[in-house]
C-alpha cells in the first residue's frame, strides 16, 4: 500500500493549477490545528505520523498562499478537512507498489556525491564560519534541504533531518545523498557543532579529508535507534573532530 507520504505528494500536485486568485485563502480561519486536536482518531500515538502529514499539507497551503495561489490553497484546505473527517488515513492510497516507489523516489535527494566543485577557491570567497559564530543564530529551516560539501568543495549531499535536545549536548544533521558511498537511499550522521557554513548560509562544509570521509559509517537504521548506541555515536563523532 502506498505510504501516506506519497499521498501527500499526490494531493499537493492535484491542487496546483493555473487559475488566478479570486479570494484570500485564510488558513488561520480554517482552525485546522483545533480540528486535529478534536479528532479522537488522531490523538493517539499510533496516528502521530498522520498528524505530521496533515501539518505538512497545511504548510504546503501556506506556501501556495505566499505565492498568491489562493484558489489552490483553498482546494488544499478542503482536501485536508476531508482527510480529517474521512476514514483512517492509513487505509487510503492504492496497492500499486511500483507506482508508490516511483512517487517516493521523487522525494529523495537529487544532489549527487562528487558533483561539480563550488566556488571556495575563487578570489574574494569569504571565510567559512563555525555554527556558533553566526549572528543571529541558525534556524532549522535554513538547514533542512541545504547542500553539504566536502573539504575539497564537492557535493556530499543535503540535510534531510535535524536531531537536537540530546542530554549530552550532541546535536546532529542527517545528511542524505542518493550516491553517497553506495547507491540507494543512504545517510550519514554529522555532529552539527563540527559543521562550517558559508556566510550567506547557503552551503555547509564537513571539516574532514576525503580519506577520512570514506571511513564515515552510514546511519545504521532509519528508526534512529542509533541515538541510544553510545559506542556507535562515539566512533562516528570522533571522525568529525577538528584535525
Write out the chain's pLDDT in tens, 243 residues: 445 555 555 455 555 444 444 578 888 877 777 877 788 777 666 777 788 788 888 888 989 999 999 999 999 999 988 888 876 655 555 556 666 666 655 555 555 554 455 555 556 677 888 888 888 888 888 888 888 888 888 888 888 889 988 888 899 999 886 544 333 357 899 999 999 998 888 889 988 887 888 889 999 988 899 999 999 999 999 999 855
Of 46, 70, 105, the one marking the end of a domain is: 105
pLDDT computed for residue 106 by the predictor = 57
* pTM: predicted TM-score of the whole model, two decimal places: 0.56
Q: Residue 131: its pLDDT value, please? A: 84
Taking the C-alpha atoms of residue 55 and residue 32, their distance in angstroms, rounded to an integer, is 9
133 and 97 in a single domain? The answer is no
Distance of CA 86 to the CA centre of its chain: 28
The reply to whether 29 falls in a domain is yes
Q: How far is CA 102 from the centre of its chain?
A: 19
Q: Up-side HSE of residue 120: CA atoms within 13 Å toward CB?
A: 21
Neighbours of 177 (CB within 10 A): 25
Taking alpha carbons only, the member of 197, 200, 202 closest to residue 131 is: 197
Do both 99 and 133 map to the same domain?
A: no
Cell readout for 173 is 544533521
Query: Which residues form the domain of 212?
Result: 129-238
Answer yes or no: do 169 and 203 share one domain.
yes
| pLDDT of 186 | 79
Amino acid at each position: 500500500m502506498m505510504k501516506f507520504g506519497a499521498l501527500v505528494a499526490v494531493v499537493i500536485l492535484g491542487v496546483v493549477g493555473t487559475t488566478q486568485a479570486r479570494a484570500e485563502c485564510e488558513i488561520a480561519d480554517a482552525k485546522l490545528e483545533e480540528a486535529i486536536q478534536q479528532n479522537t482518531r488522531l490523538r493517539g500515538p499510533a496516528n502521530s505520523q498522520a498528524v505530521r502529514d496533515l501539518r505538512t499539507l497545511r504548510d504546503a497551503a501556506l506556501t501556495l498562499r505566499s505565492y498568491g495561489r489562493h484558489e489552490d490553497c483553498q482546494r488544499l484546505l478542503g482536501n485536508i478537512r476531508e482527510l480529517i473527517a474521512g476514514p483512517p488515513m492509513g487505509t487510503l492510497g492504492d496497492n500499486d507498489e511500483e507506482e508508490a516507489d516511483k512517487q517516493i523516489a521523487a522525494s529523495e535527494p537529487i544532489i549527487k556525491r562528487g558533483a561539480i566543485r563550488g566556488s571556495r577557491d575563487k578570489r574574494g570567497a569569504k571565510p567559512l564560519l563555525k555554527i556558533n559564530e553566526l549572528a543571529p543564530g541558525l534556524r532549522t529551516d535554513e538547514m533542512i534541504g541545504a547542500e553539504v560539501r566536502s573539504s575539497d568543495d564537492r557535493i556530499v549531499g543535503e540535510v534531510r533531518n535535524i536531531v537536537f535536545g540530546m542530554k549530552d549536548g550532541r546535536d546532529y544533521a542527517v545528511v542524505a545523498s542518493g550516491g553517497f558511498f553506495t547507491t540507494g537511499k543512504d545517510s550519514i550522521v554529522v555532529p552539527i557543532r563540527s559543521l562550517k557554513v558559508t556566510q550567506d548560509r547557503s552551503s555547509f562544509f564537513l571539516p574532514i579529508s576525503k580519506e577520512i570521509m570514506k571511513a564515515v559509517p552510514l546511519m545504521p537504521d532509519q528508526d534512529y535507534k542509533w541515538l541510544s548506541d553510545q559506542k556507535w555515536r562515539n566512533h562516528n563523532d570522533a571522525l568529525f573532530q577538528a584535525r
